[in-house]
Amino acid sequence: MSVVLTPNPPGTKPPAPPPAPAQQVAAKAGLPIKYAGAVLTGQDDMLASIAKCFDSHNARITKQRIKKQEESWVLESSEFSPCTTGGEVLAVADDIVSRINQILAVYADFTPTFSVEYINWINAEGEPFRTLRDFASLNRVSSKGLVELRGMSGTRPLGSAVLDTMICDPAVEGALILHGDGELSWPQVYDIIEFFGGESGITNAGYADKKQVRAVRQTANHHRHLGSPKKYPLPLNPPTLADATEFARSLLRHWISVRL
């Protein structure tokens, strides 16, 4: 649920605006907002680490003072520019956070652990508003993956480079959507292998050897056909889901690096 409030000093009540004609209100609502920032919720130390991975016009995470003696992590993006209301910004911010979570899952074994808490925005007339919602979450992340995402790719952190590429390259976007923003299931592992052309496509690209691809693919295929285990048997030494997940993510990382 979203609630729109006008920020004022504690204990004060904003004056009621004079009534406006319906057509004037409609025209006003259609104007792009002047500024919007999505205030994030999550573990402070994790958000501090993630912020170093994303620093471009499509997504920049910075710490800002929102209230007196209170600092919050805020997502800013050029994608907010066409929005006319806080609700629209909230929907766009959710989508950007979902993309970031997908990238973090692939590179840093990250579970979806931070979200948009509320939107601070200023309308076309310079009036401040806030669009709110409530939730809570817990973080898990690979520090090694965050180090990789903080590394520079050209003039941007790798996290930003992947996000920017995801926005302009439908294939990269599709691959990361296929992965999702959480832990992988066996059917997802299988689908990711097929996305890269199966055994032949992966080995021809030099991403992995044929024996490894075959073992992961056969295991994933077995688990996605548990109703017919005899028809789709396990290999002699089947990988665990954790090993298969890392294999699938390594394919994605290798392939994305070529497309940056």
Nearest to 250 by CA among 156, 114, 67, 109: 109
Q: Quick check: is 85 in a domain? A: yes
Q: Quick check: is 176 in a domain? A: no
The two tokens of residue 43 are 């573990």
Q: Quick check: is 38 in a domain? A: yes
| CA gap 88, 175 in Å, rounded | 26
- In a shared domain, residues 127 and 191: no
Q: Quick check: is 178 in a domain? A: no
- In a shared domain, residues 7 and 127: yes
- In a shared domain, residues 125 and 235: no
Number of domains in the chain: 2
pLDDT digits (tens, 9 = 90+) for 236-249: 889 999 899 999 99
Q: Indicate whether 19 pLDDT > 60.
A: no
pLDDT band, residue 231 (cuts 50/70/90): confident
Question: Which single residue is written with the structure tokens 């956070």?
Answer: 97
- In a shared domain, residues 98 and 216: no
Looking at residues 186-203, what average pLDDT do you find? 95
Nearest to 130 by CA among 145, 117, 140, 139: 117
- Residue 226's pLDDT is 81
- Residue 211's pLDDT is 94
pLDDT band, residue 114 (cuts 50/70/90): confident
Nearest to 224 by CA among 177, 189, 176, 192: 189
- In a shared domain, residues 16 and 121: yes
- In a shared domain, residues 119 and 212: no
Q: Quick check: is 167 in a domain? A: no
- In a shared domain, residues 110 and 204: no
- In a shared domain, residues 99 and 191: no
Nearest to 193 by CA among 202, 203, 206, 205: 202
Looking at residues 138-142, what average pLDDT do you find? 54
Q: Which of 132, 158, 173 is the last residue of a domain?
A: 132
The two tokens of residue 12 are 């004060």
Q: Is 59 exposed, middle or buried (0-12, 13-18, 19+ CB in 10 A)?
A: buried
Whole-model pTM: value is 0.69
- In a shared domain, residues 195 and 100: no
Q: Indicate whether 27 pLDDT > 90.
A: no
Number of H helices, E strands in the chain: 10, 9
Q: What is the DSSP letter of 237?
A: S
Q: Which of 132, 155, 172 is the last residue of a domain?
A: 132
Question: Which single residue is written with the structure tokens 């991403």?
Answer: 207
Q: Which of 106, 132, 158 is the last residue of a domain?
A: 132
Q: Indicate whether 257 pLDDT > 90.
A: yes
- In a shared domain, residues 190 and 123: no
Q: Indicate whether 24 pLDDT > 80.
A: no
pLDDT band, residue 110 (cuts 50/70/90): confident
Q: Quick check: is 139 in a domain? A: no
- In a shared domain, residues 118 and 22: yes
Q: Quick check: is 204 in a domain? A: yes
- In a shared domain, residues 118 and 200: no
Kindly report the average pLDDT of the chain as a whole number. Answer: 84
Range(s) of the domain holding residue 188: 184-259
Q: Indicate whether 3 pLDDT > 80.
A: no
Q: Quick check: is 236 in a domain? A: yes
Q: Which of 74-83, 114-123, 130-139, 201-210 has the lowest mean pLDDT?
A: 130-139
Q: Indicate whether 72 pLDDT > 50.
A: yes
Q: Indicate whether 227 pLDDT > 90.
A: no
Percentage of the chain with pLDDT > 90? 60
